[in-house]
Amino acid sequence: MSKVIERIKSKAEELAAIRLEIAAMEEAHRVEVEAKKERRDAIQNELLAALRKEDLASIKTTAGETYARSIRRGVDIVNAVLAMSWARDNGAVAIDRRIVAQKLAKLDQMPPGFELTETEFISVRKPKNDE
């Protein structure tokens, strides 16, 4: 095999090794982080309940941090047709690029307002296990 091919193959193998290392590290930390996040959420809920029970708006820690009860307002859609009509009339509609790409993937010509783009990347296929 030529030296050029060997060098490229070596680079691909180096990429495979580092991808495995990253995946293993991410998995190990994912479990730890998820456990910490669950504990954080439980403590936050306990703190909210205690503040609510004592009718307090906030509490200050000895470190000087203030933890305050807050309310975040959100919106639920109960009628998609009416909601879409309102959103269109008020400029609150966004184009989902993933769905657009799926629908336009097989077209030879892009409709007005769209342009075909290409991004080069590395695709990795693992060998099939013959068991």
Average pLDDT, the chain: 92
Residue 75 belongs to a domain: yes
10-46 residue pLDDT tens: 999 999 999 999 999 999 899 899 999 999 999 999 9
Radius of gyration of the chain (CA): 26
Number of domains observed in the structure of the chain: 1
Q: State residue 120's pLDDT score.
A: 87
How far apart are alpha carbons 57 and 67 in whole angstroms?
9
CA-based nearest residue to 104, from 115, 93, 94: 115
Q: Which two tokens stand for residue 72?
A: 């975040």
Residue 80 belongs to a domain: yes
Domain region containing 10: 3-104
Residue 128 belongs to a domain: no
pLDDT at 130 over 70: no
Q: Which pTM was predicted?
A: 0.58
Q: What is the DSSP letter of 64?
A: S
Residue 112 belongs to a domain: no
